[in-house]
Amino acid sequence: MNTFLQPARRGLALVLAASLAAPTLARLPADVNGARIVHANQEPGNWMSHGRTYDEQRYSPLTQVNDRNVQQLGVAWTQKLDWDFGVEATPIVVDGVMYTTGAYSIVYAYDARTGQPLWKYDPEVPRDKGGEGCCSVVNRGVAVWEGKVYVGAFDGRLIALDARNGKPVWSVDTRLDKAKSYTITGAPRIVHGKVLIGNGGAEFGVRGYITAYDAKTGKQAWRFFTVPGDPAKPPEDEAMAMALRTWYGNGWVKWGGGGTVWDSMAYDPELNLLYIGVGNGSPFNYKFRSDGKGDNLFLSSIVALDADTGKYRWHYQTTPAEMWDYTATQHIILAELEIEGKKRKVLMQAPKNGFFYVLDRSNGQLLSAEKFVPVNWASHIDMSSGRPVKTGAADYLDGKGMKIVVPSFLGGHNWQPMSFHPGTGLVYLPAQETAAGLEPQQEPMFMPIRNVVNIGLDVPQLPEDPKVVKQIAESWKGRLLAWDPVAQKARWSVEYPTAWNGGTLATAGNLVFQGTADGRAVAYAADTGKLLWQAPVNSGAMAGPVTYTVGGEQYVTFMVGWGGSFPNITGPLSLNAKVKPESRVVTFKLGGSAQLPPPRHEAAVLPPLPPLKASEAELKIGRTMFNGLCANCHGLNAVSGGVVPDLRYLSPEKHGYFLGIVYGGRTERGMPSFAKGIGPEQVELIRQYIISRSHALKAELAAAAASAPAP
Ligand code: HEC
């Protein structure tokens, strides 16, 4: 459905926008092509591609806002988004118009100067689809090309919109198998008139690939698979024949193999190579997937493809035999670095596994790799073979049970984009220190229920004792690292109270911008790391900020909104962020004097609690069921990170029709139906577990009140 927010003003605003940006040539909106992106530095006021340029440096040459005047930044405009679920989009700004997305892949077009809405397109992703992805109904933004805006919808559609009015022009279903939970959360990239998009779903048993579609028609141009299909059938291409030799048994055929290309891509126009980041294995459990043998190409790899044909050129596998959710889908940056006196065309990535990699991007040769956060699964990367030297400390398949894995499945770095400043030579990396226990299932107990993660491991066990949880939460730090990729060490760093801080933006004004998990927009001096400016934005800000100019004035935009796997799944560990989810576009400029609406303040009050009727043994089952089925949104051990209701506060009335909520879902509001697969007795055990957690919370609050100093 297409909603015209301001039908009367829409046309006017677009004409105005076009005329401001190009006085001599009245351009159509989003009239971007490859030449314009390649020459992006000639029009630094626009942000025309996901990482601004094809090399994805997220560096802006703009200097109007700089280290001497950044303190004068004030709010220029704000716009509330429809859903207060996670916001991960990088806006695209072209000739005075901003195109961005919110939860459920809804696309918003604004006048970039005033924030006036121009149009909105809601692809109407079914609101109960959230359970079919690991980490909420997020979206990382659109791509634009020759008058069209492209969005990957959470349900697997790739949709082209008319940039003038947001009307759909074409739509294709990118899913290989409609019965499986393929999603899209990543932003498309466009090279030589082909729209490139991958999928998510490696926690739900899918096979990964990336597809190129003709930007004009939506016709499929090529598809590159990242893991082999059924060995009983001929491999799709030589790359798949090569990959097949690194897989054993055929367990992965049933469980998809994984390797989804859910986020990063970069493009080198000179080499005509497209670089893609490939995700984790499906299932995580390597024994069920590949008999515990083989490297399992191209899981956790960076793969270089011919951008026109999708043919394999080279790969570098960061984590052979991946079994820890160590995706290599994290942001890829291309740059020129001087290494040992030689100028090298490099590719840089800091994937989840905790090592910062510098590769020669012409051939995939490893130039260096060092740890940027604490790591326990490997001691170092052997430079002659390019392979990690594993310690065994994280090997949960050694028959000795649960292992603490460092970094955790959230990664030393996740999707939050980093940036590279060619002047300082530093990469500004939103890193995090996390650890989590992983324990294999003895027999595959994958649940045949939609909406349920199938990874062949027990759900990470988080202790319930609040003191222990507090300790773990305090050890899960966030850090902004100013990483020197030549010396492979941090030049400066900033510590944050939690993980999951925002992506970064570097500018020629000697600035690094970042949103924080604790609800601020901040700017540091790019060379020294000195904090120069900060402003509240009311909610966790995770997305990568952008900067642009309209009418000669520079703006900085933060997409604000808390969510994703950290608050949703590991809810109890995210509470030090102390923010409520509130999704909004917040744009700053020098001397801006608009008002940010006040933050939400709903004090949670524990209602009268139903009596607890279950035995210890029943509560244990209830807990396993809750953590397996509900914790992905409502938080482990029924402690929510605040994005989805905290069920410990459920009213007596809702307890009365709990079964109805679980079976019926709240399908218009993001709560899926669990009508199939769990019986009423099991639902009652889940409810009893929630009640036990409410009673524990009540005792905790009473103890805290008793020990609080008298007023
Ligand atoms: C995909 C995410 C997701 C999963 C998985 C999920 N829920 Fe929910 N749930 C939600 C959302 C979002 C809401 C809030 C809906 C609304 O705003 O009305 C919700 C609401 C609820 C409510 C009503 C809360 C209230 O205060 O009104 C109950 C009860 C509930 N869920 C129970 C469960 C149980 C039990 C499970 C596991 C069997 C579960 N949910 C799994 C997303 C989820």
Ligand 1 near 647 CB (within 6 A): yes
- Mean pLDDT, residues 559-570: 96
**Which pLDDT score is estimated for 677?**
80
Nearest CA, atom 24, ligand 1: 645
Summarised one tens digit per residue, pLDDT across range 78-131 is: 999 999 999 999 999 999 999 999 999 999 999 999 999 999 999 999 999 999
Ligand 1 near 691 CB (within 6 A): no
Q: Tell me what percent of the residues of the chain surpass a pLDDT of 70.
A: 95
Distances in whole angstroms, Cα of residue 707 to Cα of each of 700, 703, 704, 711: 11, 6, 5, 12
Summarised one tens digit per residue, pLDDT across range 390-449 is: 999 999 999 998 999 999 999 999 999 999 999 999 999 999 999 999 988 877 666 656
pTM over 0.85: yes
Within a domain: residue 336?
Answer: no
Domain with 19 in it: what CATH number? Answer: 2.40.128.630
Summarised one tens digit per residue, pLDDT across range 650-683 is: 999 999 999 999 999 999 999 999 988 899 999 9
Within a domain: residue 562?
Answer: no
The residue range of the domain holding 676 is 616-707
Ligand 1 near 638 CB (within 6 A): no
Tell which residue, 215, 223, 314, 216, has the closest CA to residue 261: 223
- pLDDT at residue 5 is higher than 60: no
Within a domain: residue 371?
Answer: no
Summarised one tens digit per residue, pLDDT across range 483-537 is: 999 999 999 999 999 999 999 999 999 999 999 999 999 999 999 999 999 999 9
Within a domain: residue 127?
Answer: yes
Q: State the distance from the centre of ligand 1 to the C-alpha of 156, rounded, in angstroms.
A: 23
Within a domain: residue 331?
Answer: no
Long-range CB contacts for residues 245-250, cutoff 8 Å, separation at least 24 = 246/294, 246/295, 246/296, 246/297, 247/290, 247/294, 247/296, 247/297, 248/290, 248/291, 248/292, 248/293, 248/294, 249/290, 249/291, 249/293
Cα dihedral: 37, 41, 47, 53 (round 10) = 50
**Which pLDDT score is estimated for 449?**
60
Within a domain: residue 185?
Answer: yes
- pLDDT at residue 209 is higher than 60: yes
Choose one of 190, 223, 250: the last residue of a domain.
190
Q: Contact, 70 vs 85, CB < 8 A?
A: no
Summarised one tens digit per residue, pLDDT across range 7-51 is: 333 333 343 444 444 444 567 999 999 999 999 999 999 999 999
Residue 425 tokens, joined: 């030579």
- pLDDT at residue 466 is higher than 80: yes
Summarised one tens digit per residue, pLDDT across range 224-271 is: 999 999 999 999 999 999 999 999 999 999 889 999 999 999 999 999
Query: What is the radius of gyration, based on Cα positions, of the chain?
Result: 24
Ligand 1 near 140 CB (within 6 A): no
Summarised one tens digit per residue, pLDDT across range 584-602 is: 999 999 999 999 999 988 7
Per annotation, catalytic residue among 55, 67, 128, 325: 325
Choose one of 156, 190, 224: the last residue of a domain.
190
Within a domain: residue 17?
Answer: yes
Residue 18 tokens, joined: 């076009």
Distances in whole angstroms, Cα of residue 678 to Cα of each of 229, 626, 632, 647: 31, 11, 17, 19
Round to whole Å and give the CA distance between 101 and 116. 15
Within a domain: residue 634?
Answer: yes
Round to whole Å and give the CA distance between 227 and 300. 11
Ligand 1 near 685 CB (within 6 A): no
**Which pLDDT score is estimated for 149?**
98
Domain count, the chain: 2
Q: State the distance from the centre of ligand 1 to the C-alpha of 631, rounded, in angstroms.
A: 10
Round to whole Å and give the CA distance between 317 and 308. 23
Domain with 686 in it: what CATH number? Answer: 1.10.760.10
**Which pLDDT score is estimated for 304?**
99
User: What residues contact residue 23 under an 8 Å CB cut-off, 6+ apart?
Assistant: none
Q: Which residue among 565, 605, 671, 686 is best mutated to probe the pocket of ligand 1, counting the most ligand atoms within 8 A of its Cβ?
A: 671
- pLDDT at residue 4 is higher than 80: no
Summarised one tens digit per residue, pLDDT across range 349-364 is: 999 999 999 999 999 9
Ligand 1 near 634 CB (within 6 A): yes
Tell which residue, 173, 213, 186, has the closest CA to residue 50: 186
Nearest CA, atom 37, ligand 1: 630
Phi-psi category of residue 362: left, alpha or beta, with phi > 0 → left and psi -120 to 50 → alpha: alpha
Q: Is 325 one of the annotated active-site residues of the chain?
A: yes
Q: Contact, 674 vs 658, CB < 8 A?
A: no
Round to whole Å and give the CA distance between 183 and 573. 26
Round to whole Å and give the CA distance between 214 and 195. 6
Cα dihedral: 81, 84, 85, 89 (round 10) = 30
**Which pLDDT score is estimated for 452?**
75
Choose one of 157, 190, 223: the last residue of a domain.
190
Q: State the distance from the centre of ligand 1 to the C-alpha of 554, rounded, in angstroms.
A: 42
Q: Contact, 547 vs 65, CB < 8 A?
A: yes
User: What residues contact residue 291 under an 8 Å CB cut-off, 6+ apart?
Assistant: 248, 249, 251
**Which pLDDT score is estimated for 6?**
32
Summarised one tens digit per residue, pLDDT across range 364-389 is: 999 999 999 999 999 999 999 999 99
